[in-house]
C-alpha cells in the first residue's frame, strides 16, 4: 500500500459520516482494562488523521471504523452500509479492497 494512511483515514471518515444514520465517527479507543492501567494511551490516538483507523499491513489495508448511530435507522443495515461505503472508498483510493474491515456501533441514540 503506497497511499498515506492518514489521508486515507480522513477520506474514509468522510465516507462513513455520509452514510445515512451515522451520527459520528470516533477514534477506536483502547480496551477498558488498558485504559484503567494507563489512561495516557488515549492520547496516542492520531490527531491529524481522520477518526477511522487505517493500518498498512503486508496483506493489505486493515480498516477499523467506530460509529455512533441514529436509532431511526436499523443498526444491522447501517453497519452493512458503512462497510460497503468504506470498501468502495478504499478501492477508489488504493485500487484494491481492504484485507480486513471492522465496523463497530458503540452508541445508538
Site string for other proteins, 8-27 (x = CB under 8 A): ----------------xxxx
Is 65 in contact with 82 (CB distance < 8 Å)? yes
Q: Report the residue from 4, 18, 39, 57 that binds other proteins according to the rule CB under 8 A.
A: 39
80 binds other proteins (CB under 8 A): yes
**C-beta of 22: minimal distance to other proteins in Å?**
13
Which residues neighbour 18 within 8 Å (Cβ) at sequence distance 6 or greater? Answer: 85
- Whichever of 3 and 108 has its CB closer to other proteins, that residue is 108
42 binds other proteins (CB under 8 A): yes
The interaxial angle of helices 5-17 and 75-94, nearest 10 deg, is 140
Amino acid at each position: 500500500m503506497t497511499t498515506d494512511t492518514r489521508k486515507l483515514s480522513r477520506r474514509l471518515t468522510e465516507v462513513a459520516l455520509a452514510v445515512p444514520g451515522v451520527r459520528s465517527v470516533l477514534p477506536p479507543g483502547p480496551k477498558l482494562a488498558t485504559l484503567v492501567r494507563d489512561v495516557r494511551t488515549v492520547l496516542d490516538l492520531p490527531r491529524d488523521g481522520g477518526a477511522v483507523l487505517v493500518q498498512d499491513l503486508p496483506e493489505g489495508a486493515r480498516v477499523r471504523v467506530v460509529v455512533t448511530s441514529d436509532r431511526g435507522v436499523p443498526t444491522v443495515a447501517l453497519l452493512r452500509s458503512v462497510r460497503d461505503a468504506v470498501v468502495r472508498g478504499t478501492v477508489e483510493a488504493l485500487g484494491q479492497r481492504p484485507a480486513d474491515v471492522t465496523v463497530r456501533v458503540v452508541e445508538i441514540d
